Amino acid sequence: MSSLADDVEAGFRRRFSYAPAGIWSAPGRVNLIGEHTDYNEGFVLPFAIDRRTFAALALRDDDVVRVSSGESDETVEVRLADAAEGPAVLDGVSGDARWAAYPLGVVWALGQLGADLAGLPGFDVHFDSDVPIGAGLSSSAAIEGALAVALNEVWRLGFDGSRLVDVCHRAENDFVGAPTGILDQSASLLSREGSALFLDCRDGSSEPVDLGLQASDLAILVIDTKVKHEHVSGGYAERRAACETAARELGVRALRDVSWPQLLAARDTLDGIVYRRARHVVTEDQRVLDTVAALRAQDYAAVGDLMFASHRSMRDDFEISTPELDLAVEISLNYGAIGARMTGGGFGGSVIALTPVSAITQVQVAIDGAFAEHGYTGPEMFLVWPSQGAHRER
């Protein structure tokens, strides 16, 4: 059924001239609601999507590790012992092959979290993916997750899902050097088909929440605006710092610990911008809880209202939206979506719209028209379905 599984197997044979021992895969993700709550130790509600990264892998009988990808012409070869040491293993590697930090980071992190790498054989791995890279759908968590489940099995490590989340999170933060919360890796590794993952970013606990989309004739449309503004990292750092300031001044460990009445009471003591940043986080945590309750009651109108409230909060209080994202939300709602919001870190990226299947075409046509009218780059639009987390394919 899945032709990417065939492609990755053929790719492995081409690059390494023998057959892989197995094929594993892990999905990208979108976040239904709960933005900038992860580093405030709050709640998020992502789901794995039906776009995946496939890993074809075989163990070797020496300690060599070779990593290869359909996205890159270069195969990177290192010794397992050197990968176990840390990021310096990539010192001699060319710029084009820096992507190898993701898989080699997983190897290193498995060692950091308890695998005895010195006693294990090397491996060859080839990746192929239909997760758009760098589009905010977390191709990075997908490549990490696919390799983590593969190595967990062939090396017989016996790590459970939440330990693999820690492994991939560690790889991306401390080896690749990209600071992220546990949202992406949890969604890619732990999601169940048809469900979102209700995740508590304080203790890492999670539970599936049935989305019931198909039974309700609903779909999630992704509208990728293709816009990425330059102040992404600066803006992100400023938002994080404002949240830390608010937590400190309110005398709590994280904004997770602040109730809405408490925040309101502190209104006059906090700096105006800090107050609005905190208001987004505190109300967004509550919206995640309310969305979980609404999904369990199959009250999709309420889910839609919460999505739009989340968007307004990001637009007005957290100030991380863009005119393109705002337009995509507005047009989606005007043409039949029951909820829409920007998703991801902000300053560009994608909108998700909860849309009756019967209205999808009219929403897409209206968005194309409105973007053209405003002189914006034509967005890319596609449906995503809640899918199974990382697993073995064959």
Active-site positions read 184
Cβ 303 to Mg ion, closest distance in Å? 26
Applying CB under 6 A, among 139, 185, 310, 364 the residue interacting with ligand ADP is 139
Query: If binding is defined by CB under 6 A, does position 191 make contact with ligand ADP?
Result: no
Applying CB under 6 A, among 136, 339, 345, 389 the residue interacting with ligand ADP is 136
Taking the CB of residue 27, how many other CB atoms lie within 10 A of it? 29
Out of ligand ADP, Mg ion, none, what residue 24 binds, judged by CB under 5 to 8 A for its kind, is none
**What does the alpha-carbon distance between residue 366 and residue 361 come to, in Å, rounded to a whole number?**
9
Residue 119 in contact with residue 110, Cβ under 8 Å?
no
Out of ligand ADP, Mg ion, none, what residue 136 binds, judged by CB under 5 to 8 A for its kind, is ligand ADP
Give how many residues touch Mg ion by CB under 5 A. 2
> 230-250: b or e for each residue (b if 16 or more CB lie within 10 Å)?
eeeeebbeebeebbebbbeeb
Residue 339 in contact with residue 303, Cβ under 8 Å?
yes
Query: If binding is defined by CB under 6 A, does position 140 make contact with ligand ADP?
Result: yes
Nearer CB in complex with ligand ADP: 304/344: 344
Query: If binding is defined by CB under 6 A, does position 152 make contact with ligand ADP?
Result: no
Pick the stretch among 78-86, 116-124, 125-133, 272-280 that binds ligand ADP (CB under 6 A).
125-133
| Cα–Cα nearest to 28, from 385, 392, 393, 394 | 385
Query: If binding is defined by CB under 6 A, does position 185 make contact with ligand ADP?
Result: no
Cβ 6 to ligand ADP, closest distance in Å? 16
Q: Is 349 exposed, middle or buried (0-12, 13-18, 19+ CB in 10 A)?
A: buried
Residue 328 in contact with residue 81, Cβ under 8 Å?
no
Q: Is 3 exposed, middle or buried (0-12, 13-18, 19+ CB in 10 A)?
A: exposed
Residue 371 in contact with residue 359, Cβ under 8 Å?
no
Cβ 264 to ligand ADP, closest distance in Å? 35
Q: Which of residues 201-230 bind ligand ADP (CB under 6 A)?
A: none
Applying CB under 5 A, among 37, 140, 195, 355 the residue interacting with Mg ion is 140
266: Cα separation from own chain's centroid: 33
Query: If binding is defined by CB under 6 A, does position 43 make contact with ligand ADP?
Result: no
> Strand pairing of 64-69 and 76-79?
antiparallel
Sequence-ordered list of residues with C-beta below 8 angstroms from that of 269, at least 6 positions apart, any chain: 249
Query: If binding is defined by CB under 6 A, does position 134 make contact with ligand ADP?
Result: yes
Query: If binding is defined by CB under 6 A, does position 68 make contact with ligand ADP?
Result: no
Stretch (H or E) spanning 133 = none
**What does the alpha-carbon distance between residue 255 and residue 40 come to, in Å, rounded to a whole number?**
5
Give how many residues touch ligand ADP by CB under 6 A. 18
Total number of residues shown for the chain: 394
Nearer CB in complex with ligand ADP: 20/304: 20
**What does the alpha-carbon distance between residue 165 and residue 149 come to, in Å, rounded to a whole number?**
10
Query: If binding is defined by CB under 6 A, does position 71 make contact with ligand ADP?
Result: yes
Applying CB under 6 A, among 78, 97, 115, 143 the residue interacting with ligand ADP is 143
Query: If binding is defined by CB under 6 A, does position 69 make contact with ligand ADP?
Result: yes
Nearer CB in complex with ligand ADP: 66/202: 66
Query: If binding is defined by CB under 6 A, does position 95 make contact with ligand ADP?
Result: no
Applying CB under 6 A, among 24, 39, 102, 300 the residue interacting with ligand ADP is 102
> Strand pairing of 206-210 and 76-79?
unpaired
Out of ligand ADP, Mg ion, none, what residue 291 binds, judged by CB under 5 to 8 A for its kind, is none
Taking the CB of residue 322, how many other CB atoms lie within 10 A of it? 19
Query: If binding is defined by CB under 5 A, does position 138 make contact with Mg ion?
Result: yes
Which positions touch ligand ADP (CB under 6 A)? 53, 69, 71-72, 99, 102, 127, 129, 133-140, 143, 178
Which positions touch Mg ion (CB under 5 A)? 138, 140
